[in-house]
Amino acid sequence: MALSSWLVTTTNKEVAATVSGLYGGRLRRTDRQQEVFELMLDRDAIAVNIDGPGSVVNRMVLEQEEGRGPIHVCDGSNLLEPMDSAGDLCGCPKSVFDRKAAARSGHGPKPDARLSFRLAAAPGVGMFFLASSSWEFSDSLSAAVLDMERGASGAGMEICLQRKVVTTRSGMAVSYVHPILSVAEPDFVAPVHLQLAA
Ligand SMILES: [Zn+2]
């Protein structure tokens, strides 16, 4: 969330080279001892293939302090954990506004949204994982799962970084970046063709 571009982490040198070749990634860091490669990509939109609804984990989680595990895990209206109370009403507010306010104050859960995907340009290099606590990303995953459950293909999707500037109550402009999953735009006609056609 804090980063303004995609960061790809891999332990595989060939995967790092392939990704860098496709998206112009700059090697940010290499840990030679552990063979970890970090690439900052130059592109906001990455075409991906999703296997199906099972590639998405989209929950609301309120963590305890000091990493002692979650206190509240739900889907917004029903508990998902612990197993013996799964399905019970969780008590989260119905309105998104109230949910966000509860999460901000530390009393309510925030999104824990995870996606497994393949690169459409190089499906053979393996699975990648993206996790975010962004509400927008969580909403986009819910919409994609609904589409796939109705029979839409998980191919031809893209993960994209959206940049927003919001003005705080004190009048300060703050820019932030969040990921979303969406159906890939069809290829745009290049401007040169538009000129020729005119
Ligand atoms: Zn809840």
Give the domain ranges of the chain: 1-43, 59-110
Distance 48 CA to ligand 1 centre (A): 30
pLDDT band at 197 (very low <50, low <70, confident <90, very high): very low
Distance 94 CA to ligand 1 centre (A): 10
Distance 126 CA to ligand 1 centre (A): 34
Per-residue pLDDT tens over the stretch 82-129: 999 999 999 999 999 999 999 999 999 999 999 999 999 999 999 999
Distance 72 CA to ligand 1 centre (A): 6
**Burial class, 174, CB count within 10 angstroms (exposed 0-12 / middle 13-18 / buried 19+):** exposed
Distance 118 CA to ligand 1 centre (A): 31
Q: Which residue has the higher pLDDT, 35 or 141?
A: 141
Q: Which residue has the higher pLDDT, 44 or 32?
A: 44
Mean pLDDT for the chain? 88
pLDDT at 186: 59
For 8-20, what is the mean pLDDT?
A: 92
Distance 89 CA to ligand 1 centre (A): 8
Distance 133 CA to ligand 1 centre (A): 15
Measured distance between the N- and C-terminal CA atoms of the chain, rounded to whole angstroms: 42
Taking alpha carbons only, the member of 171, 143, 169, 168 closest to residue 157 is 143
Distance 77 CA to ligand 1 centre (A): 6
pLDDT at 2: 54
Q: Which residue has the higher pLDDT, 17 or 4?
A: 17
pLDDT at 33: 79
Per-residue pLDDT tens over the stretch 63-82: 987 778 899 999 999 999 99
pLDDT band at 187 (very low <50, low <70, confident <90, very high): low
Distance 170 CA to ligand 1 centre (A): 31
In this prediction the pTM is 0.85
pLDDT at residue 54 tops 60: yes
The mean-pLDDT minimum among 21-30, 44-53, 104-113, 129-138 falls in 21-30
pLDDT band at 31 (very low <50, low <70, confident <90, very high): confident
3-state secondary structure of 151: coil
> Diameter of the chain by CA atoms?
66
Question: Rg of the Cα trace of the chain?
Answer: 20
Distance 115 CA to ligand 1 centre (A): 21
Looking at the chain, the whole-number percentage of residues with pLDDT higher than 90 is 66
130/157 Cα distance (integer angstroms)? 14
Strand order, beta sheet including 26-31: 7-10, 36-40, 26-31
pLDDT at residue 193 tops 70: no
Whether the ω angle into residue 70 lies within 30 degrees of 0, i.e. cis, is: no
